[in-house]
Structure 1
Amino acid sequence: MSSKIRHPNLFLTNVFFAVGLGLMSAYGQSWPTYHGGADLQGSVDATIPDKPERIWSYNTSGSIESTPVSDGERIFVSPGKGRIVAVSLKSEKVWEKTFVSTNDAGDETPFRFDGPFLCHKGLLLAGTSRGILLALDAATGDEKWRLDIDGILLGSPNVIDEKHVVVLDQSEGSLLCIDIETGKTAWSTEGVERCDGSPGVGSGYAVFGSCLAALHVYNATDGKHVRNIEIGGDGQIAGGVAIAGNQAFFGARDGRLISANLVEGTIVWSSEESIDQTFSTPAVGKETIVYTSDDGFVYAVDRSIGRTRWKYDTEGYPTSPVIVGDKVVLTADGSLILLKLADGALLSKQSISDEATSPAIVNGLVVVGADDGTISAWGTPVVSKEQEAGSE
């Protein structure tokens, strides 16, 4: 779900970039959470080249550790030290602000934004390691409200409905539903155990995993507990939970990728290919689930039965993958990697920096943050009429 960054500089290639490459997912041309929509499926219908070109790069002077998010007009990242930066889809800075906490003596300490952001209804919602949820005007960065949950916010906020979002207190493992107009808590749940991942929301459920080696299922409307689904073994869950229909897909500490039926409360299948922990968020395709593990591999399994279709060795530490049309997009050790969804064949591998975040897909562009301070956008360059005339 993340990565790292250093010194300010704006770089633009001498080309214009293509937008509107046919994104037809539920999130359209935006990327509101770190893994697409509220269901965290990380899958979008779009066309990108086998080897995308770097269209532009903007340096924020810092270290970007969480996946960029976008409302379709702006891209948002935190380069550290309490800073949040918003840039346009043409790499122009829209705003940059620093957010701090102030103690009784008047001393200011910059916030740490360790978790991913959320874009929703004109707001950017950002959680801090001190348990403060900030609601900012996405267009200006102006603070609308802040809420102290008296806990730790590590995972991503997520959307419950048009008026409400949900956050997960890492330390207690409790869900809090927040009214986005007032910043007041609408409902909260009892804590279950430490939770390091992000909740998925879909099919009327809010779902997350915990260090209890269990999946916790709640009614997304009122927060009532529906059930726990025991995973067993060394099955602690520290990644995001993707939801598709009545099924949830998630990884576990012992390397398993698991599918669970949320209605019946049963395990549908378990893929045990990985030999190391699987804490990434899987990408859910129509027939294929793609996930990564700390063993360095990208795995693709049959969505209905969990049988392995292929695997690819990144020889590094891969981030959460995204399915883009007929391709799989991810980063590993600072390289942007594209694979064929059908068979896992390598299409391209291009270096970005020492470390890079998992990708966001924004308006047909692959957008990543990196530890050298850059946000970079990759896609298909379009030659301008002036360039065409000059080449004749």
Structure 2
Amino acid sequence: MKFAWQETMNAIQRTTRVAAILVATASLIQGCAGIRLDRGLREAPYDWLTFGGAASRVNQSGSVAAPPLQAVWEYNALAGIRGTPLVKDSVVLVVTLSGEIQAVHLTTGERVGYMVLQSAVAGTPVWDSSFAYVPCALGSETLTCIGLRNAERRWARDYGSIESSLLLHGELLYVTTLDGIFYCIKKSDGMELWKFETAEKGKRKPIRSSPASDGTAITFGSDDAYLYAVERTSGKLRWKYQTGASIFATPVIAHDICVVGSLDGLVYALQMGTGKLLWKYDTRSKIYAEAAAAADSVVYIGSADGQLHALRIDSGARLWSFSAGSVISSAPLIAGDVLYVGSLDRILYALNRQTGEKLWQYEAPGRIRVSPVIWGDVLLLTSEDKFITAMRPAQP
């Protein structure tokens, strides 16, 4: 069976040729291509501007869309989608494996603009004010700043292959790379401020895990099986902890505890300040999920056997588990008392967050391997290969 990272690599290779053609012809179609947001977008507390909704990657929505839901539109991005959509005001930003960033109207589902990048986008960008910072998997421009008001590239830099999602803190961007290097970058010009190398050249393993932060330190996993914590301002190693296998998942940070799943099937909880192991929980299956979700002292994490586990974040005690029909490879989304989780069985499940009881389900056009997002009362569901479905609470 092929899991998330293997399929992403295959999709990137398939679409790189298409992206190259699009880049080569971009100069011929600039009159009709481009993203131009002619007005300033209003900010709301439930805007979804980064992977996981926050630097801590807790996947907790500031708004609620209570089930049952009904589809109001479906958008075809014409290429595979691996990053979560970002939403601000009435605009949805979508990135694709053909190397496009697309702007979609939240109300109608109509595309209002797009730009062509140099290669596939496998991670989630960051949306900051009127700028989008976008990672690319290949090429000589693997990190790009796009001005959304005037449809221009503010800067583009080469930081090696990036298949993870970006982290923004103030004026600084943080990114992990397949070269095994973690970078701190100035968002103003894209120049490197410092870098942390997990090992010497030739011995480094790829980093597919996206960075998470509590504001003082940044954590990420690596294919070398270590979970790293580095000081946010200096890049100095705070601690590292060795698990039993590669870590593809992104850590989640809550209550000064860092929680991450590993391919060894274990969930690890470590104290952010010291790296001390607090507990381990055995899911008995590999954990490919992008990340977990956390709220109210509970962490929710899925595994390759289709089980979703609700664990106390202070002790690792299991509160409940839920069986989906196939692999869970994306993070659940917390929306009030409801937990939304998708599976490769094409089903989006809505669960009671306290008990794990299934409240409702929806069959998507394809397999679900990207976390849903909620803005206002609209839930955006991404499914293979190229669809985004907008859903609202069903009218009585």
When normalised by structure 1's length, the TM-score is: 0.83
Gaps of 5+ in 1: 6-25, 101-110, 384-392
Counterpart CA distance in 2 for 1:27 and 1:230 is 40
What residue is the counterpart of 2:165 in the other structure?
156
Counterpart CA distance in 2 for 1:274 and 1:32 is 34
The amino acid of 1:353's aligned partner reads: P
For residues 86-143 of structure 1, the C-alpha deviation after alignment (integer angstroms, 9 at most, x for no partner) is: 112212322112223xxxxxxxxxx111222221232211111126101112345421
Counterpart CA distance in 2 for 1:138 and 1:248 is 34
The amino acid of 1:301's aligned partner reads: L
Which of the residues 304, 322, 328 maps onto 1:294?
Answer: 304
- Contact 1:369–1:376 (CA<8 Å) still a contact in 2? yes
Q: How many residues end up aligned between the 2 structures?
A: 348
Which of the residues 220, 242, 254 maps onto 1:208?
Answer: 220
Q: Which runs of 4+ in 1 moved over 6 A?
A: 1-5
Query: Which has the larger displacement, 339-348 or 125-134?
Result: 125-134
What residue is the counterpart of 1:82 in the other structure?
99
SS at match of 1:43: coil
Identity among equivalent positions (%) equals 20
What residue is the counterpart of 1:280 in the other structure?
290
Displacement, 1:372? 4.7
The amino acid of 2:378's aligned partner reads: L
Counterpart CA distance in 2 for 1:207 and 1:71 is 27
What residue is the counterpart of 1:8 in the other structure?
none
- Contact 1:179–1:186 (CA<8 Å) still a contact in 2? yes
Which of the residues 113, 123, 147 maps onto 2:121?
Answer: 113
Task: Indicate yes or no: 2:185 matched with 1:136.
Answer: no
Counterpart CA distance in 2 for 1:296 and 1:27 is 34
Counterpart CA distance in 1 for 2:267 and 2:311 is 9
SS at match of 2:114: strand
More helix by percentage = 2
SS at match of 1:329: strand
Distance 1:140 1:206, change over 3 A: same
Between 1 and 2, higher relative CO (CA 8 Å, sep ≥ 6) is seen in 1
For residues 322-344 of structure 1, the C-alpha deviation after alignment (integer angstroms, 9 at most, x for no partner) is: 11111111211222211110111
- Contact 1:359–1:367 (CA<8 Å) still a contact in 2? yes
SS at match of 1:35: helix
- Contact 1:133–1:148 (CA<8 Å) still a contact in 2? yes
Counterpart CA distance in 2 for 1:212 and 1:373 is 32
Aligned ranges 1:37-76 → 2 under 5 Å: 37-76=54-93
- Contact 2:67–2:394 (CA<8 Å) still a contact in 1? no
Which of the residues 180, 187, 191 maps onto 2:194?
Answer: 187
What residue is the counterpart of 1:363 in the other structure?
376
Counterpart CA distance in 1 for 2:152 and 2:388 is 22
What residue is the counterpart of 1:11 in the other structure?
none
Which of the residues 121, 128, 132 maps onto 1:124?
Answer: 132
What residue is the counterpart of 1:326 in the other structure?
337
Displacement, 1:242? 1.1
- Contact 1:156–1:199 (CA<8 Å) still a contact in 2? yes
SS at match of 1:44: coil
Query: Which has the larger displacement, 55-64 or 218-227?
Result: 55-64
For residues 131-189 of structure 1, the C-alpha deviation after alignment (integer angstroms, 9 at most, x for no partner) is: 6101112345421110101x21011010122x1111111222x2111111111112211
The amino acid of 1:187's aligned partner reads: W
Displacement, 1:48? 2.1
Task: Indicate yes or no: 2:344 matched with 1:344.
Answer: no
For residues 182-237 of structure 1, the C-alpha deviation after alignment (integer angstroms, 9 at most, x for no partner) is: 11112211234321110102231111111222211111122222121233xx2321
SS at match of 1:144: strand
The amino acid of 1:116's aligned partner reads: T
Counterpart CA distance in 2 for 1:50 and 1:363 is 14
Displacement, 1:77? 1.4
What residue is the counterpart of 2:261 in the other structure?
251
- Contact 2:80–2:98 (CA<8 Å) still a contact in 1? no
Gaps of 5+ in 2: 12-42, 200-204
When normalised by structure 2's length, the TM-score is: 0.82
The amino acid of 2:71's aligned partner reads: R
Query: Which has the larger displacement, 290-299 or 275-284?
Result: 275-284
Displacement, 1:47? 2.7
Displacement, 1:278? 4.4
Displacement, 1:292? 0.4
The amino acid of 1:222's aligned partner reads: S
Which of the residues 46, 65, 71 maps onto 1:29?
Answer: 46
